[in-house]
Structure 1
Amino acid sequence: MSGSTDYAARGPFAELLFDDDALAEGGRGSESDSWLMSYLDLLLLLVTFFVLMLALYGGQLASPEQPTAPPVTLALKVPAPVPPKAAPSAAQLGFYRPPRQLTAAPVASDVGFYAPRPAPPPLVPMTPLLFAVPLFDLPDPVDDTLPQIDGVQVTAIPHGFNLRIQDHLLFDSSAVDVSDKGRALIEKMIPLLQEFQGTISVEGHTDSVPISTPQFPSNWELSAARAAAVVRALRLDGIDGGRLRAIGYASTEPLADNDTPAGRARNRRVELVLQETGSDGS
């Protein structure tokens, strides 16, 4: 058999199936190779199984979208839609009762419980009463208005008056004695000063221009000397000396800017401050 070409083994297992050396030795294989035949049989069965599976399901794996068998179409009869019935209302079921129509209640005057009052008479407008409340306890002035004295500026202050006089109306230039014109002006103020019951403070004021003379080393001495000169003139005209005071302020209380001639002229002045007795602590 080994010499015939018709039965020559072909394939990868030819050497295993037909071993010339083994047949030459005894005509059959060794007992140690019997397991190899069983293993080959198992491999053949597995290959055959995979070939069959590939033949059966190979088409489905190639194109899964196309089914192998034609689909079965079932004709289903869809019933026609039934329109929904309207639910019965509460009145049809007997659970609803329409509200009663309420009538308007009679007015109290219609049933005799209320009698309207007559309209009140129109109010007569009344003139409001005005009360004058004084802010300060001022003394009664000589007239209804502030006294008017030529050359003297009169203003009302708490508890009295302030009489402001420019220095050129009382003194000559660089002098401290009251001039004749100044005495005439003081005499005009005497009636007012005598009628007023209170203290009279004579205050002297200067500008900021410094002065240095043997008689007046500074503006303090000048302002105090002019205030004292006015006090002496008032005493000569009959004013009680116990009511008089002389005060010098120099340039500490200016009324205007001392940088201009007009401002310095306003600051050079004498003021008579009239206050009620006891209002300044005296």
Structure 2
Amino acid sequence: MEHRSSGSSGQARQAARELVLNVDRSEESDGWMLSYLDLLTLLLVLFVLLLAMRGVVPQENASASTLPTSSAATAVMVSPLTLAAMDRLSPVQAVPVSTTGVLPWLAASPTPPPPWQMLSTTAASDSRTPARVDVQAALAVMIPLQNIVLPTEEETPSDEVMAMDHRLAGIEGVQVTRERERTILRIEDRLLFPSADIDISGQGSVLLDRLLPALKDFDGEISVEGHTDSRTISNDRFPSNWELSVGRATAVLRYLSRGGVKASQLRAIGYGPTRPLAGNDTETGRAQNRRVELVLSPGRPRSASR
């Protein structure tokens, strides 16, 4: 019995071996396609999942951008400041702001340092950083400067002007000074007029006659200016120092015009006590302030004055 069963099992093994050896090779070669299709299916599913996850990100960003802004937030525009001005600013007490509608991670973040401290630290760490310019402050400084006329270098007087100044300086009682291009002849009133009068004295006529040759050769404008001290004068002829100064300037102008100086070159101005040379507290100072000045300004040629 046992011999018969062992023989049948051997036959079965032999039949199975022959079945394996006789398998058709064409059927065995098509078995790999199943695994390949499974792999393609997995890759397709993975690709679909990636696309689905990518589409979620813009929606999150869009929702974040539509968050309601806090009603306590206020936009403030400030003019640019220089670094030095920011360093002088004192810290300002922070005002509590409602965090409603603010992202949680923003509300939990620490408070940043004040901007002037950040700028000061940056400027100290990098000295090559160019300083910021306050344009408005610069304009505020520049606009007043446009109204300031800087003094220019005095021009060297010509030989003709130098010769005339030398002639005038040789006349006793006449003080000659130069201001830029102008020549000023200063004469004390006692050499021309009696006290509180506008009639030229004999001494004054002699003095003016010595000035006439140089003044007739001068081509520019001659301004005759009368000045007084601060003492009050009031009479029927001269109600104030203004009338006295104008009367004396006009008297000298008429004398020069009769002496041959062209009237078109002359003009008379009375300044009264408004332009003193010295203080009026002493007699010496008041004597300096009572004067007549001939201001010679080069300008028009003679042909233009005819």
Normalised by the size of structure 2, how large is the TM-score? 0.45
